Amino acid sequence: MPVDKLISHFDNYLPLDNKEKEELSNRLIEKNIKRRQFLLQENDVCRHYTFVISGLFKMYAVDKNGTEHNIQFASENEWITDIGSFHSDQPSRLYIEAIEPSVILQIEKSNLLYLYTHYPKFDRNFRVIIENKFIELENRVLQNISSTAEERYQTFLGQYPRLSNRLPNTQIASYLGITPEFLSKIRNNIAKK
């Protein structure tokens, strides 16, 4: 069952007791998502935290020239949401799109707040998850201002080892802030070493 994967995920933080598992199960929405289907589009308000059971998503912005800028990828056992839009109820500037057919679990804001209030483990678990994502984002910003493109690519491979074969060069290049041609050059240089 998909919810079992999420419950196992929480075991990495504070494991849930039977009542907490039941409460969580009752508040989740399971969805099958097609490739290229959106969970969020620019100007919509983000209403869910999404846990990926299977598949792959990207979160990105589109600049005034129509160029995509990937911010995050989420695959199995990872969360994806526009946290700013979710918590502020403001329109998002981001898109969340499926790269592969996927199965997800979603929880709406009211249900998440209920769990925070009535079952403190959820508040703690989500706080740790969000703190870890914040650390990941801090490291990424620091890398973008202080690392070479090749160093950023090597870090990407370390952070997302299973994704390099699942993502097209264009998606990886967008995440790294370089052109697909330059990424090919970096890959060739690494292969020669």
Backbone φ and ψ for 180, nearest 5 degrees, come out as -60, -35
Check if the beta carbon of residue 24 is closer than 8 Å to that of residue 106.
no
pLDDT at 54 over 90: yes
Is the pLDDT reported for residue 6 higher than 90? Answer: yes
Which tens digits make up the pLDDT trace of 159-173? 888 898 899 999 999
End-to-end CA distance of the chain: 45
Query: Among residues of the chain, what percentage have pLDDT more than 70?
Result: 100
pLDDT of residue 7 exceeding 90: yes
Distance CA 75, CA 78 (A): 6
Q: What pLDDT shows up at residue 170?
A: 93
What average pLDDT does the chain have? Answer: 94
The answer to whether the CB of 9 falls within 8 A of the CB of 77 is yes
Predicted local distance difference test score (pLDDT) of residue 59: 97
pLDDT of 2 reads 87
State residue 186 phi and psi, 5-degree precision.
-60, -45
Going by pLDDT thresholds of 50, 70 and 90, the confidence category of residue 66 is: very high
The answer to whether residue 189 scores a pLDDT higher than 90 is no
Q: How far is Cα 55 from Cα 77, in angstroms, rounded to an integer?
A: 10
CA distance 92 to 179: 26
pLDDT band for position 53 (cuts 50, 70, 90): very high
> Which residues, 6+ apart, have CB-to-CB distance to 117 below 8 Å?
none
Provide Rg for the chain, Cα atoms. 18
- Position 167, amino acid: L
Residue 65: CB atoms within 10 Å: 5
Residue 30 in contact with residue 8, Cβ under 8 Å? no
Residues 100 and 47: their CA atoms lie apart, in Å, by 22
Q: How many angstroms separate the Cα of 179 from the Cα of each of 75, 142, 175, 176?
A: 23, 20, 10, 9
Whole-angstrom distance, CA of residue 110 vs CA of residue 93: 22
pLDDT of residue 81: 97
* pLDDT for the residue numbered 186: 94
Q: Averaged over 8-28, what is the pLDDT?
A: 95
CA angle 167, 146, 94 (to 5 degrees): 45
55: amino acid identity, one letter: G
